[in-house]
Amino acid sequence: MKSTYTKILTVTILLTATSMVLAGGNHAENNATNEQTTSVVRPYRLSDGSVIIPKQTQRQLNIRTTRSVYGDYPKTVELAGKIIPDPNYGGKVQSMIAGRITPPPNGFPTPGESVHKGQLLAYITPDVGPKGMRSLAESRLKRLQALSDTVTRKTLEEAQAAVANEELRASVDGIISTTGIVSGQVVDARQTIFEITNADRFMVEAIAYDTFLLDNIQSANITEGDRQIPLKLLGTARNLREQALPITFVASEGGALPLAIGQAVRIFVQTKQTQQGYQVPASALVKDSANQSIIWVKESPIKYLARTVTILPLDGTSVVVNGLENGDIVVSQSASLVNQIR
């Protein structure tokens, strides 16, 4: 009897110990699972393509979001163009005679230097023929000046012009854009010595292949970095140039622009027609592995989902897309970094 009682007690103790061990193991496993769920240590991608990004990582990646809004926006056409000088506020300085160029007392102006209208830029010493001919011309002028009472005024003026230096002066206020001369260089008549441009008076020339666009322009702008520069339509030429019609704009804002003559630009022309969709920053657009345009949408505080969208141009800094839902919170900054998470 005592032996049987001892065996039962031993089995009871073993079962109790086993239950405690199993309970402890399950409790530890549950704690680990809960800790993994509530504390993500690094970003990763799920099997459905969405990504999990901890709050700390979001701050490190400088992720910013914005809410999409559905609406009607101007139908926009993107045109290629370039910056051209305004002929009313720029000019060329050319030599009227052939001769040797020499600097004024303050030296030649250099590219980028500001000049004012009438400023002396250079001298041209006329070329009067073979070596020694200039001294003969100067001697002739002195003789004619001594006989000024007996020679005609025209003869005296011709003799003076033969030895006088031509003064090259700035034709407008502006900045020296190009110059390719050095002291002592021989130049030809009608050769361009300096070109002057006005940084406040640039024009934009666009090329349009659709003649319907000419009478359908509502507004236009170009984008330089994050800055939008609104444009004012000056006119459209009616003569084809390389099977296209040139359209001329001028910046509607005053002040110097961060642009250069000949610089290629993209012109966004807003027409009188409208298009529907969601306006989002252009920085929100990225490409997936299939080279489709996608936008990352925030589904929860740490979960982001990719949405495939179609794109319509708007103004260079923003685009109109379809494929979102009203009120979607989209990643507007660091979208390319989110797209790299694997």
Local mean pLDDT, 10-residue blocks, the chain (342 residues): 42 38 39 44 90 94 92 92 88 87 91 91 76 58 69 68 76 88 88 87 88 87 84 85 88 72 91 93 93 95 95 91 92 94 90
CB 93 within 8 A of CB 192: yes
At residue 152, the pLDDT reads 79
**Longest CA pairwise span in the chain (Å):** 166
At residue 34, the pLDDT reads 40
At residue 29, the pLDDT reads 37
Q: Strand pairing of 245-251 and 202-208?
A: antiparallel
Specify the DSSP class assigned to residue 145: H
Q: Please report the domains of the chain, with CATH numbers, ordered by start residue.
A: 55-84+200-339 (2.40.30.170), 93-197 (2.40.50.100)
What are the start-end ranges of the E strands in 14-165? 44-45, 51-52, 64-67, 69-85, 91-94, 99-102, 114-115, 120-126
Q: Alpha-carbon distance 135 to 120, whole Å? A: 26
Tokens coding 88: 């009313």
Tokens coding 94: 């050319």
Angle 205-207-208 from CA coordinates, rounded to 5°: 135
Q: Alpha-carbon distance 172 to 193, whole Å? A: 14
Tokens coding 239: 């003569």
At residue 262, the pLDDT reads 87
At residue 56, the pLDDT reads 92
Strand, coil or helix: what is 260?
coil
